[in-house]
Structure 1
Amino acid sequence: NQFCYDLCIGAFGVAVGYPLDTVKVRIQTQRKSIGVWQCIDTTCRNEGVYGFYKGMSMPVTTLSISSSVVFGTYRNVLQVFRQLRCTSADAPSAKIDIFLSGLAGGIAQVSIMSPADIVKVRLQCQTEPYLGSDPKAKPKYRGPVHCLFTIAREEGVLGLYKGASALALRDGPSFATYFLVYYTVCEWLSPDKYVQPGKVVLFAGGLAGMCGWSIGTPMDVIKSRLQTNGMGKKHYRGFFHCIKESVRTEGPGVLFKGLGLNCIRAFPVNMAVFAMYELIIRFLRTES
């Protein structure tokens, strides 16, 4: 049952924030400066509303699974720490335990998320068929499954894991910060130390999402660039070369491309995610 509930949490979060995620990915992968409103306007004009939802079927299915891995790993590792410290289930967890459990959860889902994420990013960045320059042009990727097999055929199975190192460096610290901030804020704002769905959960979840993305955005930029490296001309030879070239040609600010969008998207998405998470935890407690 917990697995199914975690799937619901992941799918819900994806659906809420996907359009802004598409805009963010397109801004991050451009080697020239492009504004948020310019990107939105161009997408609307050339591709319509559908352009904002390209590749969404992949994260709705697979990111939901990865979300279940994150939350499941987090809960299980936290439980191990409780047992090692011989504390009761009702006792508050140590901050370091929450941080390390979040770190483990973020890293654990990389093996599942990486192939799905590269498919999502490539479909989000596939705009050529809608530009009108060539009426006979056909998209390279006809959908998520076709994209997955095309990458595996042309770039090998390891091609599905392009940017996996950056993804791990993004999600490990990001989820560690995410859970730590959430429970710290809930602890501050809940005098009775018992979190219930409501304003506290909504605010803490939104703030946790913003803090997590503030930590994770630099590696998010590198990840997206490595994942799209090969759609056209290859610009980067690897992880460190991508960082070096990006900073050299566009300045250090390139590592924070999309930070504002990530934070704007993160607040409502994670408000919803943690509200659902707490509801599910309460339901599981009443069931047991």
Structure 2
Amino acid sequence: MSDEIAPTQLIDENQTGQSPNRVFKDLAAGTAGGMAQVLVGQPFDTTKVRLQTSSTPTSAVDVVKNLVKKEGLRGFYKGTLTPLVGVGACMSCQFGVNEAMKRFFRGDKPNPNGLLTLPQYYACGFVGGVANSFLAAPIEHVRIRLQTQTASGAAAEFSGPWDCIKKLVRAKALMRGLTPTIMREAQGCGAYFLTYEALVANQMKNGVVRTEIPGWKLCCYGGLSGIALWLSVYPLDVIKSIMQTDRIDQQVHGKNIVRVAQNVYAKHGWKAFFKGFGPTMLRAAFANAATFATFEMAMRLLG
């Protein structure tokens, strides 16, 4: 694929930034996409996190069986309220910044075809990922704490999201895992949006208007984009999960990325950095198919 994206007078008005309400519409569509991602992807994410943070060898099948047996189907959606609101905000930020960066690169005098180069699309996603990291790190920290909590009632460490937040803030640990989150989101979102926009542009090159790309294709493009994201950053996510499930008061796995990686490798070898990889790839395909399809449909509805 060449570095210059396809020609198009075919870019639709909602991509030009001419509407004074454009930013609001971008954020609203991003929020809708984020909520769709959580509802579709939460069971896969819960399985992934428990695999990543398990202290004993296990498999996705065993995790699912034990979770259903001990906690019921609702166990897959433990901690969902936080990501439903939080991931909606994260995706709103991620997509909003990405769209703003696309308008920035087009400038006051956009090139005749209206589209950007591949490096520019990567840069848009990269900046959106960095901006999103400062929301994603604390939101995911709370979600992971609740997802990995197996006790209930009085024996539970956290009674709910708000109790978890208060305890993490008190321990000055809410932002733990920010550095690997920034690294994951920057590279991951760069690959994510680059893949999606390249696939969309390939359709537009063949004379299809963006708003006329069928929903099933948007789902396919979104799924492939999610897979591209996780293929490029998965070990970082494992390290982040370990840091965010470590003891709140005293970290035993290490206080930085390098130390955590060294400890994990010394104890479990390189395979430990790919624990939960299967559920993550399944989640990436389904959840991001829902994300992009919902985002595009929302943009079309909002005009």
TM-score by length of 1: 0.90
- Over residues 252-286 of structure 1, what are the superposed CA-to-partner deviations in whole Å (9 max), with x where a residue is unaligned? 121111222111111111111111222233334xx
Q: Which residue does the alignment assign to 1:256?
A: 274
The AA in structure 1 aligned to 2:280 is N
Alignment of 1:96-135 (within 5 A): 96-129=119-152
Deviation at 1:15, TM superposition (A): 0.8
Contact kept in structure 2, 1:186 and 1:200, CA below 8 Å = no
Deviation at 1:90, TM superposition (A): 5.5
Equivalent residues, number? 275
Deviation at 1:78, TM superposition (A): 1.4
Q: Distance in 1 between matches of 2:271 and 2:216?
A: 34
Could you tell me the percent identity over the aligned residues? 28
Contact kept in structure 2, 1:162 and 1:226, CA below 8 Å = yes
The AA in structure 1 aligned to 2:232 is I
One of 196, 199, 202 as aligned partner of 1:182: 196
- Over residues 48-81 of structure 1, what are the superposed CA-to-partner deviations in whole Å (9 max), with x where a residue is unaligned? 1121111110010111011100000001111111
Q: Distance in 2 between matches of 1:149 and 1:172?
A: 28
The AA in structure 2 aligned to 1:87 is P
Against the structure 1 CA distance between its residues 47 and 231, is the aligned structure 2 distance closer, same or farther, given a 3 Å change threshold? farther
Task: Pick which of 11-20 and 90-99 moved more.
Answer: 90-99
Deviation at 1:249, TM superposition (A): 1.0
Against the structure 1 CA distance between its residues 114 and 89, is the aligned structure 2 distance closer, same or farther, given a 3 Å change threshold? farther
Contact kept in structure 2, 1:25 and 1:125, CA below 8 Å = yes
Q: Distance in 1 between matches of 2:242 and 2:178?
A: 12
Q: Distance in 2 between matches of 1:90 and 1:184?
A: 14
Deviation at 1:189, TM superposition (A): 4.3
5+ residue gaps in structure 1?
130-135
Deviation at 1:181, TM superposition (A): 0.8
- Considering fraction of residues, name the structure with more helix: 1
One of 75, 79, 101 as aligned partner of 1:55: 79
The AA in structure 2 aligned to 1:278 is E
- Over residues 160-207 of structure 1, what are the superposed CA-to-partner deviations in whole Å (9 max), with x where a residue is unaligned? 111111111111111110111112222334511533243321211111
DSSP 3-state at the match of 2:174 = helix
Alignment of 1:61-76 (within 5 A): 61-76=85-100
Q: Which residue does the alignment assign to 2:110?
A: 87
Q: Distance in 2 between matches of 1:6 and 1:201?
A: 15
Higher relative contact order (CA 8 A, sep 6+): 2
- Over residues 9-45 of structure 1, what are the superposed CA-to-partner deviations in whole Å (9 max), with x where a residue is unaligned? 1111111110110010000011322100000001111
Q: Say if 2:32 is the partner of 1:8.
A: yes
Against the structure 1 CA distance between its residues 89 and 125, is the aligned structure 2 distance closer, same or farther, given a 3 Å change threshold? farther
| Runs of 4+ displaced beyond 6 Å | none
Q: Say if 2:178 is the partner of 1:164.
A: yes
DSSP 3-state at the match of 1:161 = coil
Q: Which residue does the alignment assign to 2:232?
A: 215
Q: Which residue does the alignment assign to 1:133?
A: none
Against the structure 1 CA distance between its residues 89 and 43, is the aligned structure 2 distance closer, same or farther, given a 3 Å change threshold? farther
Q: Which residue does the alignment assign to 1:192?
A: 207
TM-score by length of 2: 0.86
Q: Distance in 2 between matches of 1:104 and 1:197?
A: 28
RMSD: 1.9
Task: Pick which of 232-241 and 243-252 moved more.
Answer: 232-241
DSSP 3-state at the match of 2:252 = coil
The AA in structure 1 aligned to 2:116 is S
One of 220, 226, 241 as aligned partner of 2:259: 241
Contact kept in structure 2, 1:206 and 1:271, CA below 8 Å = yes
Task: Pick which of 220-229 and 108-117 moved more.
Answer: 108-117
Against the structure 1 CA distance between its residues 97 and 193, is the aligned structure 2 distance closer, same or farther, given a 3 Å change threshold? farther
